[in-house]
Amino acid sequence: MGRLRNLLWLTLGYFVILELLLVAAVLYYPEFIKNIAALVRIAKFLPVAGEMLEHVEKDGVVAYVAAQHFFKGGSAFGSVSAVLFAVGAVAGEAYRGTLEILLARPQSRLRILSERYAIGFCAFSLPILLSSLTTPFWAAQVGESVPYGSMVLMSLHEILFLAPVFSLAFLCSTLGSNPLRIALAMMGFVLASYALYMVKTVTHYSPLRLADVESFVNVHKNGHLDYPLCAGFVLVSALLFVASVRCFAKRVP
Amino acid sequence: MSAGLIEIKGLGRSFGEHVAVHPVHVSIGPGGITGLLGPNGAGKSTLMRMLIGLTRPDVGQCSVSGQALQGDGTAIRRLVTYAPGEIAVYKELSAGEHLAWLLKGRDPGALQRAMEMAERMELPLDKRVQGYSHGMKRMLFVIAALAPRVAVRILDEPTEGLDPSRRKEVLELLQADAAQGTTILLSSHHLGEIDLICDRRLFLRDGELLDEQHSNQLHAKGQRALRAHWNEVVEPAPLEQALAGLGELRLGADRLTLFLESNDPRPALAALATVDALPAPKSVSFGQLSLGELYHEIYGREGI
C-alpha cells in the first residue's frame, strides 16, 4: 500500500520531468532549426552527435523529438528511471526487513512478483507514453505537425527497449538485499552504454544503438515497429522475468 | 478431521555447511499450546518458517490440517497465521492500514476483529507505526496473527519486548484462543510463561529436537527440585553429609539445588534443619524453578 503510494508519486514526478523537458525542447525548436546548418558544421568534430543533427536537418521536427524526448528523456534518463522503479521490488523489502511479513501472507510468490513487475513496468512506461501523446499539441504551438500514430509507435519502441533494462534490474532485486547498491551498479551500466554510444569507433557496441534517433526515425518512416528487434526485447524481458520467478521461489526472507 | 494437526516428518534445512535444523519428526495438536524452546541459533525460527513455506526444507515433509506443504506453501499459509520474531514495519503506514495489509486475503471479519482487539489494547490505529514503540509493533503483529479464524497459529516469540502487563494480556489471549480448540505453536525465551501456558514443550538444541520423553523426564525432575538460598557463603561438607541419599545435590557458594527422588520435600527439609551452624536461608522453594533448571540441564546455561 505504502509502496504503491510512493510509486505513484515517483511516476507522477517522472511524468512531470519528461513533460517539462519536452515542452522546453519543442518550444525551442524554431530557434534550433534556424541554426541547424551551423550546428551540423560544428558537430562534424563530434561524429555521433553530428549524426543526430544530420537526422534533424533531414527529417525535421520528428527527428528532433526523437533526439530530445525519446533518446535523451527515454533511452538515457528512462533507463535510470526503469532501474529505480525495479530495484525496490524485493531488495527494498529485504533491506528494511519487511520481506518476511510480505511472504507470510496467504499469497503465492508468483502473484507477489507478477504484481510488482506489472506495477513497476506501468510506472516507468506510462509517463513515456502519456508525455509522448502531448507532443503533437506542443508542436502545434510552434507551427509544426507531429503525427499521433508515430508518437505511439515510437513510445512503444522506447518502452520495449527499456523493458529488458527494467527486467534485469528486477532480477537483481530478487537476488539482492541492498537496492542502493543494485541501482548504482545498474546506473554504471547505463552510463557505460551512453559513453560507448558517444565514441564513434565503439558506438555499435552500445545497447543505446537500439533506441537512438535513427531507430525512432525509421519507426516513423516505416509506419510500424521493427518487429524482429521488438520481439527480441520481449523475449529477453520474458526470460529475465522467468529467472526472477525462479530466484524468488528459492529466496529465504 | 485433521483440522489443527501439524505433522512434521523429517523436515530439515541446512544453510551451506551449517545444519540449521536436523530432520525433525513430531506431531503437534490438534488444539493446545505447544512451546518451542531453545537458545538463539537452536533452529526454532527456521523450523517455524519451514512449516509455512517461508524457508524451503531440504528434506522431509509436513502438513497442517491435512494440507501438505507444496510449492511455496501458499495453501498452508491460508490455513495458518504467523507472527514473525523479527519486527519490521512499513513506517509510512498507519497502524490501521498496516493491519489491513497484513490481513489481506484472510476471512472477511478478520480486520474488524483485529481493529476491536487493537482498541481494547489501546493501540492508536490512526497513528503511523513509525511512532510506535517496539512493544506496540509487537502487539500489532500478535493481533494480526490472532484475528483471522484459522485452526493453527505459529507465533515466533510473541511476547518479546512487551512490558509485563502487555505480556499478561497476550498470554490471556493465547489461552482463550487455545480454549476454543486452536492449535498454537509458539517459541519463547521466557521459561516462566512457557511453563505457565504451554501444554507441551519441545526443546531444540543445535537444530535437533530433543527426545520428548527425555524432556518430560527432565521436566518432572525439575518439578522435584528443592532450592535454597543464603545471604552468605555456606560450608558444603555438612550439607553433603546431611542430604546424602535424598537425591542429586548441586551446591553453590550460597545456594543448593536438590533434585529429590520423591515428590515429598519434608525429609530433605528435616535433614537441612539438622545441619549445625547453618544460617537461616534467604529463600526456600520447591518445584518453582523447574523450567530454568531444565533449561540448564539441557543447554548447560541458565534460561531467562
**ω into B30 cis (within 30 of 0):** yes
Mean pLDDT, residues B25-38: 91
Report CA-CA distances (Å) from B255 to A56, B230, B242, B279, B297. 93, 6, 15, 12, 17
Lowest mean pLDDT among A83-92, A99-108, B68-77, B249-258: B249-258
pLDDT in tens, A196-206: 988 888 888 89
**DSSP code of residue A75:** I
Helix A148-175 with A109-133: angle, nearest 10 deg: 150
- What span, in angstroms and rounded, lies between the C-alpha atoms of A198 and B190? 65
Enumerate residues 6+ apart whose C-beta is below 8 A from A123: A7, A10, A11, A14, A85
DSSP string of B192-218, one letter each residue: HHHHHH-SEEEEEETTEEPPHHHHHHH
Max Cα separation, chain B?
71
- Judged by DSSP in three states, B126 sits in coil
Q: How far is B78 from chain A (nearest CA, A)?
A: 5
Question: Residue A186: its pLDDT value, please?
Answer: 92
Enumerate residues 6+ apart whose C-beta is below 8 A from B83: B141, B142, B144, B145, B153, B154, B155, B156, B158
- Are residues A64 and A151 in contact, defined by beta-carbon separation less than 8 angstroms? no
Q: How many residues does chain B have?
A: 304
Taking an 8 Å cut-off on Cβ atoms, the answer to whether B56 and A104 are in contact is no
B89 touches chain A (CB under 8 A): yes
- Are residues B20 and B14 in contact, defined by beta-carbon separation less than 8 angstroms? yes
CATH code of domain B6-210 = 3.40.50.300
Question: Residue B304: its pLDDT value, please?
Answer: 42
Please report where in the chains the cell 513497476 appears, as a residue.
Answer: A120
Look at the domain B218-299 and name its fold.
Alpha-Beta Plaits (3.30.70)
Question: Residue B300: its pLDDT value, please?
Answer: 63
CA atoms within 13 A on the CB side of A232: 9
- What span, in angstroms and rounded, lies between the C-alpha atoms of B4 and B182? 7
Q: For residue A38, which of A50, A47, A48 has the smallest C-alpha distance?
A: A50
Grid cell in block for residue A131: 508525455
pLDDT band at B293 (very low <50, low <70, confident <90, very high): low
Q: How far is A99 from chain B (nearest CA, A)?
A: 9
- What span, in angstroms and rounded, lies between the C-alpha atoms of B30 and B32? 7
Question: Residue A7: its pLDDT value, please?
Answer: 86
B58 touches chain A (CB under 8 A): no
- What span, in angstroms and rounded, lies between the C-alpha atoms of B127 and B119? 13
- The whole-model pTM stands at 0.84
Mean pLDDT, residues A230-234: 97
Question: Residue A41: its pLDDT value, please?
Answer: 84
- Are residues B110 and B118 in contact, defined by beta-carbon separation less than 8 angstroms? no
**DSSP code of residue B280:** P
Report CA-CA distances (Å) from A94 to A8, A102, A221. 21, 10, 46
Which residues sit opposite B19 in a β-bridge? B14
pLDDT value at A1 more than 80: no
Average per-residue pLDDT for chain A? 92
Average per-residue pLDDT for chain B? 88
Q: CA nearest B46 in A: which residue?
A: A252
Taking an 8 Å cut-off on Cβ atoms, the answer to whether B74 and A107 are in contact is yes
What b/e sequence results for A7-16 when a residue is b if at least 16 CB atoms lie within 10 Å of its CB, and e otherwise?
beebbeebbe
**Chain A: which residues have CB within 8 Å of chain B?**
1-3, 5-6, 96-98, 100-101, 103-110, 249-250, 252-253
Taking an 8 Å cut-off on Cβ atoms, the answer to whether B84 and A100 are in contact is yes
pLDDT value at A3 more than 50: yes
CA atoms within 13 A on the CB side of A49: 11
pLDDT value at B294 more than 80: no
Q: Is the dihedral of CA B159, B162, B165, B169 positive or negative?
A: negative
- What span, in angstroms and rounded, lies between the C-alpha atoms of B155 and B145? 8
CB pairs under 8 A between A and B: 61
Taking an 8 Å cut-off on Cβ atoms, the answer to whether B106 and A249 are in contact is no
Mean pLDDT, residues B14-43: 91
Q: Which of B71, B82, B105 sits opposite A107 (nearest CB)?
A: B105
- What span, in angstroms and rounded, lies between the C-alpha atoms of B130 and A220? 51
Q: How far is B202 from chain A (nearest CA, A)?
A: 23
pLDDT value at B206 more than 60: yes
CA atoms within 13 A on the CB side of A161: 28
pLDDT band at B59 (very low <50, low <70, confident <90, very high): very high
Backbone angles phi, psi at B172, to 5 degrees: -65, -40
Continuous H helices in chain A: 2-34, 36-42, 47-59, 61-65, 77-87, 93-96, 99-104, 109-133, 135-141, 148-175, 179-198, 213-222, 227-250
Question: Residue B291: its pLDDT value, please?
Answer: 57
pLDDT value at A76 more than 90: no
Residue ranges covered by each domain of chain B: 6-210, 218-299
Mutate to test the interface with B, among A100, A113, A247, A248 (most CBs of B within 10 A): A100
**Other beta carbons less than 10 A from residue B262's beta carbon:** 11
B13 touches chain A (CB under 8 A): no
Tell me whether strands B67-68 and B59-64 are parallel, antiparallel or unpaired.
antiparallel
Contacts of B56 in chain A (CB under 8 A): 250, 252
Residue ranges covered by each domain of chain A: 2-250
What b/e sequence results for A144-167 when a residue is b if at least 16 CB atoms lie within 10 Å of its CB, and e otherwise?
bebeeebbebbbbbbbbbbbbbbb
- Are residues A11 and A120 in contact, defined by beta-carbon separation less than 8 angstroms? no
- Judged by DSSP in three states, B281 sits in coil
Q: What percent of chain A has pLDDT over 90?
A: 73
Q: Which residue has the higher pLDDT, A76 or A120?
A: A120
Which residues sit opposite B134 in a β-bridge? none
pLDDT band at B299 (very low <50, low <70, confident <90, very high): low
pLDDT band at A46 (very low <50, low <70, confident <90, very high): confident
- What span, in angstroms and rounded, lies between the C-alpha atoms of B233 and B252? 9
ipTM, 2 dp: 0.80
Question: Residue B303: its pLDDT value, please?
Answer: 47
Tell me whether strands B32-37 and B200-205 are parallel, antiparallel or unpaired.
parallel
Q: How far is A250 from chain B (nearest CA, A)?
A: 7
Question: Residue B287: its pLDDT value, please?
Answer: 76
Amino acid A18 reads: L
pLDDT in tens, B77-121: 999 999 999 999 998 899 999 999 999 999 999 999 999 999 998
pLDDT band at B75 (very low <50, low <70, confident <90, very high): very high
pLDDT band at B213 (very low <50, low <70, confident <90, very high): low
Q: What percent of chain B has pLDDT over 90?
A: 60
